[in-house]
Structure 1
């Protein structure tokens, strides 16, 4: 017998053994059932109707099956692993330990047929059908038993669905009746649509929401009556909306805003508010009772959207509360409306605000590791003042330090130490020469930042980095966010460059760019859109676009131009000029309640011009690492088909960077058990130089740049600790772009049993949070 046939026989035997084990595993769940009871494995619904289209019938069956209770034990590949863990764990003797955890956290108790009420489910199905226009539907229920397992079968005969023939709105001449009638144009009740009780309820809520924008503060949806007449025949109904006669008088009137009273130092623990006459400040339309003189009154003028005499509306009501919360100064925000005792059909608005501690210190310790074999930690100490000048300004002073030690890998002990400080001041408004007022629930902000960082790469060099920025942050809505830095200045200066590194520069001049002095002036802008907070949607998206323009205005003022004989310098440092664009698009596809497929594509390009022949190294793109292409070590992939082979005298691998970046990743995520989630992923991409570099053959982009794409794959675990996600990813390359063109796919070389292959190809990434 040949070796090939021998291997096939062994594999067949393995599959037979696995199938046998799976069969035994699946059957074992029923032997733990209580005496005389059965395991409920689910229910099905069959719609018997000769007129309904097949697609409509399947949709109705799916909707009805979702109403059946209880739900059976969860399945995976036709098996019930959670139930199996519950059974093998047995009854724990105490409320802790492995048995208790296995049974109550990982496992799931059996769903017994004794808990299934066939008649109750039949009534639920009948009610759902009638509420969706299938009047006088007939429902029957039965069950089938096989080997201590039972399924429930329901059959429904829905008859023809009733549709809406006519919709009438109130026709009376009262202010309330006219206000309701004016909402008809956007009514959810359309002639010809199927009758649906849920839509009628939603329509009442829609009308109430519209009325709340017109001053009807005391109105609620229950004051609207929907009369349905189905006696006209032809499976049609007439719907008449009317105001209930018992609707109270105050709900029939629109209300305006009278007094606006603010208590900025309200205490939840005290029953009464004590204040003196001198604590009362009248500012525009507001009465501010600030016992500690905490805030400048302009804070409330910007936060409260109501003005005296305005018609009450829910939008301004909710936006005002959200703006108070988003100021970041208050721990508790309460709003109360009371009838005015001096003006008819008017409301007095009261705001009770409880302060957060004005000053606080936050201490953070971070442990980290990356695929370049660096392991280290970082410490951050932040001191904050939430109300520096009485206008809800936030001052943050941070001191940070960290160290990364390379315990293995190519760099052989070239550890990294960093130390720095950052001071930022944020104003809850736009500081501009123009008066710009936002009406969003999110408070616009102006932020100024000063930052210094000292980084020491032992045995190589040190860098001093200074940054100053001034800009604006604002949100159009919960989905759209903008950030514009009108001034962003970065200055980088090297020192302590070792003879070893200077010798390396002679061998590889590209290393000299890393320690060049850099001076970058320019505005930056980023736009973010996301609807990933909508958990019920099947498809959600994230998009981030960044624009970085360096030296454009400064270049015009100084006349910087690379064609000139002398490069323009400021403070004896060459001025950087470039335009950089980067986009990050992500798509989240929800497959089931506990599984999803996430994809991401990143495209970025940087174009030097004028005073700069190349992009500053700190602004170029890199590839590889925990949040990039995980099968390749951090910052070592590319550019193009170039591979940096260390020279005999070199003791480390320098970072690789490029002017153009393209990356694509796709990741399948699934909940495994308890706090453990799993993932399977594929990453692809690379970086390229826009101009050829004779020291880096194959690094420049060309029409065949897609041939330089690197591909990696792997699997990972995510531990959801509620306050953070701990991620571990194990990846390996599928395509290496530096190999000869016909040998770049290395799938055939995969050999997990070979220690040499594992050492050269397996990359372990440990990180906090998801990669995207």
Structure 2
């Protein structure tokens, strides 16, 4: 009861502090405008439709009142108490101009103007002869505005007529009628008519009508015939210019690949002109091979002008990555009737450059660290817009808390890659996307030193393709990916521990992994206005399959087959990552993720390589558990004396997370989350009882929950998550749910259960 009294006291105190105090600062004769409301009087509309319409109309009212929070106006209060600053700097000026918000006076409200706006919008929706009344209410130095909209029945479309004369353009417009946005029986809506004009214009632009535009289409609306119905007749305006009615073809195509935007005109010598297929290249320095432009340009001489090909060509030039500025111009041809000459002016980026990157990062093993990358780049190595990159990097990872505390990781390495802006294949594949398909070859080396444990030499190489169907869909196929890992400098301590725990000896084995990999990514998360957005990534990893088939490798019946005295790995691995984002409000969303993974070793391998196995727990996984502290199955590493991560990895993975995210204030965002999942082995391991997958695998799911803060610093997001377990899979049956044990007031419970994760970036 005392708590309820306290809550009421706090609410009343805030109300009087932020509410009443705001009005005492008002100038004499002024009222504080606290908002407007719209009521739609319509007996036909359903209640939900009427409410939606009222909300839409209220958003049009101007001015907007001062922002509220829980019915209060703290920003207005800050503005008032800050007072008039004496200087244009300092804390008072900052509070008043940056944090605070000036009062919105009722004297600024124009009832007639708002009424006219409402009337215009509602009539554009087909509610003709609408009436709008406006009134206001004033009390305690506050004023509100109330608008009432009286509507009649909404007009519907009775018929739609397209141009029917014999001209070529009229015939093209008539062909588009099947896809018309104007449907008989649908409500009349001016916005839909405008969209229909844009649709017709877009269609004509695909058919060569370069000079046409939507304003040349007139929609004649007749509401005199029919019962609350309109007839719409589309026609081409009489004053439409003659050239807007003509379909143009492409004549000459001229490319200036070394153009300077500082020059007013283009000056060139005859010896700088190169003719290649259907286009002309004018370049005094012979910067590129001509085929670079052949792949980028979609236009061919004699083609009808096409807006899609127009935009695709521009986007491909931009996506080559070698041009800083791309300009396109079409001019009527002097030599061919009803034809356009196309000109492309391309301004180069610097050919060579160095980029230095300083990165902050975290991983699922609860390591936090930094890395420095120095990259040297050549954007046009072989005159084919190839990107050649040489990178040297070094970094360190630290575990602030957990089993690996003190066993820091230091690494250094380098990588060289060459990317061609085409697919190097026996087949002539160009694609129809605005994104240039690419072929990429990579060679790299990394030396990693795990203090007090061991060091690893890692060599990698790959050759494959990257192509995007569109902005949402991307494919990456590595025809060959090779990884070779060799350990050295293994400490006596680690060797001794490996004798008692055979699973630790996996790290001491040389590994040779080679084979193709494929990845597909789909995302529409860039569409910020959509309520539901998705991200999907699927990966397929095939290692040593053909080699194992040819050699007849079978590690279960014979010795493993070696290449360069190293057994090669043979397996199939699949992983999917699906994410869904539900927009709840302007600054809030519900984010969910489902991860499924499976790896099957066979032939020359009896288990997946350690670097390819699945793990759970940590900052980007199930945050209530440390990295590698869960699974597989109900198995638990009971050795609490070890100072390095146990080998709790598996062949199968199931993980689910859901997180409510909302902006709290300024750069601070909050989150509430639940994580669940586990890993399992496909086959029983006598050293890991309970690790094998079974029909009761759902009873072995780990569950955790927590809350966190995210600090959006624009250049990075710093994340802190505090989590605790709800279900522990390695406890005995019937005791795995530990919700009843939660006791935030207990120091021992907090020590054993609360896990603080500090990370950079969102978990997903």
Q: Same fold (TM over 0.5)?
A: yes
1:96 deviation in Å? 4.5
Query: Which among 714, 728, 737 is matched to residue 722 of structure 1?
Result: 714
Verify the 8 A CA contact 2:402 2:626 in the aligned structure 1: no
Query: Which among 581, 585, 588 is matched to residue 588 of structure 1?
Result: 581
Instruction: Provide the rounded CA distance (Å) in 2 between the counterparts of 1:413 and 1:490.
Output: 28
Instruction: Provide the rounded CA distance (Å) in 2 between the counterparts of 1:625 and 1:150.
Output: 54
Alignment of 1:294-309 (within 5 A): 294-309=287-302
Corresponding position of 1:140: 133
**107-116 vs 438-447, which deviates more?**
107-116
Corresponding position of 1:498: 491
Corresponding position of 1:528: 521
* Superimposed CA distance per residue, residues 32-71 of structure 1 (whole angstroms, 9 cap, x where no aligned partner): 4333333333222211122333333223222222222223
SS at match of 2:734: helix
Q: Given the superposition, is the C-alpha separation of residues 409 and 100 from structure 1 closer, same or farther in structure 2, using an over 3 Å criterion?
A: farther
Corresponding position of 2:254: 261
SS at match of 1:522: strand
Alignment of 1:558-573 (within 5 A): 558-573=551-566
Alignment of 1:27-38 (within 5 A): 27=19, 28-38=21-31
Q: Given the superposition, is the C-alpha separation of residues 407 and 186 from structure 1 closer, same or farther in structure 2, using an over 3 Å criterion?
A: closer
Verify the 8 A CA contact 2:273 2:281 in the aligned structure 1: yes
Instruction: Provide the rounded CA distance (Å) in 2 between the counterparts of 1:191 and 1:344.
Output: 41
Q: Given the superposition, is the C-alpha separation of residues 646 and 594 from structure 1 closer, same or farther in structure 2, using an over 3 Å criterion?
A: same
Corresponding position of 2:353: 360
**706-715 vs 277-286, which deviates more?**
706-715
Q: How many residues in Structure 1 have an aligned counterpart in Structure 2?
A: 763
Q: Given the superposition, is the C-alpha separation of residues 371 and 32 from structure 1 closer, same or farther in structure 2, using an over 3 Å criterion?
A: farther
Instruction: Provide the rounded CA distance (Å) in 1 between the counterparts of 2:537 and 2:729.
Output: 28
Q: Given the superposition, is the C-alpha separation of residues 103 and 679 from structure 1 closer, same or farther in structure 2, using an over 3 Å criterion?
A: farther
Q: Given the superposition, is the C-alpha separation of residues 642 and 30 from structure 1 closer, same or farther in structure 2, using an over 3 Å criterion?
A: farther
Verify the 8 A CA contact 1:371 1:765 in the aligned structure 2: no
Corresponding position of 2:390: 397
Corresponding position of 2:692: 700
Verify the 8 A CA contact 1:646 1:653 in the aligned structure 2: no
Corresponding position of 1:76: 69
Instruction: Provide the rounded CA distance (Å) in 1 between the counterparts of 2:263 and 2:487.
Output: 59
Query: Which among 629, 646, 652 is matched to residue 660 of structure 1?
Result: 652
Instruction: Provide the rounded CA distance (Å) in 1 between the counterparts of 2:75 and 2:12.
Output: 19
* Superimposed CA distance per residue, residues 409-454 of structure 1 (whole angstroms, 9 cap, x where no aligned partner): 4334212111111111111000011111211101000111111111
Q: Given the superposition, is the C-alpha separation of residues 580 and 199 from structure 1 closer, same or farther in structure 2, using an over 3 Å criterion?
A: same
Q: Given the superposition, is the C-alpha separation of residues 542 and 107 from structure 1 closer, same or farther in structure 2, using an over 3 Å criterion?
A: farther
Q: Given the superposition, is the C-alpha separation of residues 83 and 531 from structure 1 closer, same or farther in structure 2, using an over 3 Å criterion?
A: same
Q: Given the superposition, is the C-alpha separation of residues 374 and 52 from structure 1 closer, same or farther in structure 2, using an over 3 Å criterion?
A: closer
Corresponding position of 1:115: 108
Q: Does structure 1 residue 771 correspond to structure 2 residue 735?
A: no
* Superimposed CA distance per residue, residues 48-101 of structure 1 (whole angstroms, 9 cap, x where no aligned partner): 122333333223222222222223333333333443444444444444554444
Corresponding position of 1:604: 597
Query: Which among 508, 517, 536 is matched to residue 515 of structure 1?
Result: 508
1:183 deviation in Å? 1.3
* Superimposed CA distance per residue, residues 559-613 of structure 1 (whole angstroms, 9 cap, x where no aligned partner): 1123332222212212211111111111111111111111111111111112211
Instruction: Provide the rounded CA distance (Å) in 1 between the counterparts of 2:125 and 2:644.
Output: 70
SS at match of 1:742: coil
* Superimposed CA distance per residue, residues 445-466 of structure 1 (whole angstroms, 9 cap, x where no aligned partner): 0111111111111111111111
1:696 deviation in Å? 2.3
Instruction: Provide the rounded CA distance (Å) in 1 between the counterparts of 2:525 and 2:362.
Output: 28
Instruction: Provide the rounded CA distance (Å) in 2 between the counterparts of 1:699 and 1:73.
Output: 60
Structure 2 gaps, min length 5? none
Query: Which among 734, 753, 756 is matched to residue 761 of structure 1?
Result: 753
Query: Which among 40, 57, 72 is matched to residue 33 of structure 2?
Result: 40
Query: Which among 422, 430, 441 is matched to residue 423 of structure 2?
Result: 430
Verify the 8 A CA contact 1:382 1:398 in the aligned structure 2: yes
Q: Does structure 1 residue 678 correspond to structure 2 residue 652?
A: no
1:368 deviation in Å? 3.9
Query: Which among 398, 408, 412 is matched to residue 419 of structure 1?
Result: 412
Instruction: Provide the rounded CA distance (Å) in 2 between the counterparts of 1:156 and 1:347.
Output: 53
1:371 deviation in Å? 7.7
Corresponding position of 1:5: none
Verify the 8 A CA contact 1:105 1:674 in the aligned structure 2: no
1:490 deviation in Å? 1.1
Instruction: Provide the rounded CA distance (Å) in 2 between the counterparts of 1:552 and 1:231.
Output: 75
* Superimposed CA distance per residue, residues 94-136 of structure 1 (whole angstroms, 9 cap, x where no aligned partner): 4455444444444433333222222111111111111111110
Instruction: Provide the rounded CA distance (Å) in 2 between the counterparts of 1:350 and 1:656.
Output: 62
